[in-house]
Amino acid sequence: MEAVEPPPALAGVTVVDVSTLFAGPLAATVLGDFGADVIKVEHPRNGDPARGHGPSKDGVPLWWTLLGRNKRCVTLNLSRPAGAGLLRRLVSEADVLVENFRPGTLERWGLSPSTLHEVNPRLVIARVTAFGQFGPYSARPGFGTLAEAMSGFAAITGAPDGPPTLPPFGLADGIAALATAQAVTTALLARHTTGAGQVIDMAIIEPILTVLGMQPMVYDQLGVVQRRTGNRSVNNAPRNTYRTRDGRWLAVSTSAQAVAERVLKLVGHPEVVDEPWFASGATRAEHADELDAMVGGWIALRDAGEVVAAFEAAEAAVAPIQDIADVFEDPQYAALGTLQPVDDPVLGPVRMQNVLYRLSATPGRIRWTGPPLGAHNDEIYRGRLGLTCDELAALRADGVI
């Protein structure tokens, strides 16, 4: 008897994604990876700007191929009364709405949370904005870059004598997307108890501040403002990148005291372990120059393979600095299946990041890549909402879809 494959974790959950670019759409992608039916709503003229972001191959935008996976795509002009009416019909049977318009925009279109909850009291509405739904900055336009600047991230990133450094990718957006997906599942779980939906107010400036750790408490209690330290840490040492004899770069971390002791013994300086200042990460960090000279000097005399093997034998933490080409060849990523091949109708097999985590009983999967603009208009509007061919033709002619 063949084993029956269990339904995915979010089977039966319908998500209407009207957000654009990165934080909101990526949250919806995560939900779709675990079985939610994600209906992606885009403006009929140009669609989500993510379709034009980054490189393309054979006319296929690669960022959208990833971001739009597992979504059914429809077009809809929400600023038109007929378009707003169609969205109300879509959410009347949905579980989640993800949006990232500036505060007041949905309200101006007659799509406020209170209006949508009249249509569907069980709807979870995730509102993703740069600054949140209220406060002095709430009406400003904003992107993840501003969150990386405002949160304190850029201020502590970079060399001590260099400028603040922004990440070369959407870090704040990505963190906010993961937080939004978690918030949605939390709200869906709460709905089992309350029977009612609710509104999630996700400000992109906040999740990145959360992952910066104890900085707010350190400033609150000690008045200390963390400064840029390059690859070093204010909490432990040695912690840096070191170049090997064959020109490779390796990262070493000693967050645990036992690991720090193993590293210094390995590089031929067991006497340092007995120094009083070596007993804690914070005091070791005060001697970073001295420790870096010991560790870096030892590593510089050896090839990367020899160093990694010696660190592993000593049960000390080390890893190569890898670019994306190295990631494709890394045996650990291969074992985990982190880069998953997916068939695209134009590109053929493409490798992209797999679903975010592994569930033993209800695993997620990638069912398809990002579809063309409006690819599922007929499927959703006729099959789900019951519109006729004539009604669809009229909506197209009027620019609503």
3-state helix/strand/coil string of 4-68: CCCCCCCCCCEEEECCCCCHHHHHHHHHHHCCCEEEEEECCCCCCHHHHCCCEECCEEHHHHHHC
361 token code pair: 């009983």
Please name the residues in contact with 382: beta carbons below 8 A apart, sequence gap of 6 or more: 388, 389, 392
SS3 244: coil
SS3 245: coil
Contact in structure between 148 and 23 (CB atoms under 8 Å): no
By annotation, the residues acting in catalysis are: 173
Of the candidates 199, 209, 215, the one whose C-alpha atom is nearest the C-alpha of residue 176 is 209
Please name the residues in contact with 28: beta carbons below 8 A apart, sequence gap of 6 or more: 15, 17, 19, 36, 38, 40, 71, 98
DSSP lists the bridge partners of residue 201 as 127
